[in-house]
Amino acid sequence: MSAAAQGTSKAAHGDVAPKKKKGPGALATAYLVIYNVVMTAGWLVIAVGLVRAYLARGSYHGLYYSIEKPLKFFQTGALLEILHCAVGIVPSSVVLTGFQVMSRVFLTWAVTHSVREVQSEDSVLLFVTAWTVTEIIRYSFYTFSLLNHLPYLIKWARYTFFIVLYPMGVSGELLTIYAALPYVQKTGLYSITLPNKYNFSFDYYSFLILVMISYIPLFPQLYFHMMRQRKKVLGHTDDYSKVE
């Protein structure tokens, strides 16, 4: 969800007239193209997996299990993007990208994987669907940008779909965390209490609540940032849509 905002600086960079900014070298570009193609394919696999599972079962429930492994693999793979920023082949901020990728990885592993009982919740399907559609568009956007042949449709989709997908993903994530709370409290998952020889304590339950609260300031900022990016990148559509 928040990954929609990721690389917007890159998008803006790709869309604005070529400045005298030195992009990644040929080798780095080739690697990035391969990376983005692989990620696009991976998320397509997840999308297809979801559809097939739905058709096979005839219901929306419990579809997580059918795409659990590719989801974990490809979402975790996104950690490489932090490396890309750190090394400099992608012009985004390491901190921003890191934050966004880590929030996804956190939800995948520290919530959904760790608390088995939430895996059958519908909220999981909500955010998985949002992530899947977002990532397919995002990675194909990057692929085409790198090859300098970006179809307008993809650009439009990247800067338009988020309007629905972002809130959808956030809702799914929040509902999932909320559903996990009682189990975390009951089992004391990932928590450490005093006394212990490290003189340290951590309450995962409280931590999850803090995470949920943090969505309140963060989500609007990221959402409106994407809105502003949309105006900037797709600017001229505003003129056409103004019908007096």
Partner 1 sequence: MDILALEAKSQNGAEAEKKPTPKPKPKAPKKAKRIVYFEVEILDLKTKEKLLLLDKVEPTATVLDIKSLFHKSYPKWYPARQSLRLDPKAKCLRDEEVLQTLPVGTTASFYFSDLGPQLTWGTVFLAECVGPLVLYLMFYFRLPFIYSPKYDFTSSKHWVVHLACMCHSFHYIKRVLETLFVHRISHGTMPLRNIFKNCGYYWCSAAWMAYYINHPLYTTPHYGQQQVNAGLYIFLFCQVGNFSIHIALRNLKAQGSKVKKIPYPTKNPFTWIFWLVSCPNYTYELGSWIGFTVMTQCVPVAFFTIVAFVQMTVWAKGKHRSYLKEFRDYPTLRSSILPFIL
Residues annotated as part of the active site: 166, 173
- Span interacting with partner 1, options 36-44, 75-83, 140-148, 194-202, rule CB under 8 A: 194-202
CA distance 168 to 126: 7
Determine if 198 is a binding residue for partner 1 (CB under 8 A): yes
CB of 103 to partner 1, least distance (A): 22
Write down how long the chain is.
244
Omega within 30 of 0 (cis) for the link into 195: yes
Report d(CA 135, CA 75) in Å as an integer: 10
Window contacting partner 1 (CB under 8 A); options: 16-24, 32-40, 189-197, 216-224: 189-197
201 lies in the site for partner 1, by CB under 8 A:
yes
Choose, by CB under 8 A, the member of 19, 21, 197, 242 that binds partner 1: 197
Q: Tell me the CA end-to-end span of the chain in Å, nearest whole number.
A: 34
At residue 202, the 3 state secondary structure works out as strand
User: To the nearest whole angstrom, how small is the minimum distance from the Cβ of residue 198 to partner 1?
Assistant: 5
- Using the rule CB under 8 A, is 236 a contact of partner 1? no
Instruction: State the DSSP code for 116.
Output: G
CA 110, 113, 114, 120 dihedral sign is: positive
Q: Give the count of alpha carbons within 13 A of 75, CB side only.
A: 27
Nearest-approach distance from CB 229 to partner 1, in angstroms: 22
194 binds partner 1 (CB under 8 A): yes
Q: How far is the CB of 23 from partner 1 (least distance, A)?
A: 23
196 binds partner 1 (CB under 8 A): yes
Query: Of these, 20, 199, 235, 236, which contacts partner 1 (CB under 8 A)?
Result: 199
CB 91 to partner 1: min, Å:
20
C-alpha distances (whole Å) from 123 to each of 1, 87, 169, 217 are 14, 36, 9, 22
Stretch that binds partner 1, among 14-22, 32-40, 147-155, 191-199 (CB under 8 A): 191-199
Nearest approach in angstroms of CB 202 to partner 1 is 10
Closer CB to partner 1, 34 or 192, in the complex: 192
Of 37-45, 155-163, 198-206, 228-236, the segment contacting partner 1 by CB under 8 A is 198-206
Q: What is the C-alpha separation between 224 and 212, in angstroms, rounded?
A: 19
Binding of partner 1 by 200 (CB under 8 A): yes
Angstrom distance (rounded) from CA 215 to CA 84: 26
17 binds partner 1 (CB under 8 A): no
**Buried/exposed 114-141: b ≥16 CB within 10 Å, e otherwise:** bbeebeebebbbbbbbbbbbbbbbbbbb
For binding to partner 1 (CB under 8 A), which residues are involved? 194-201
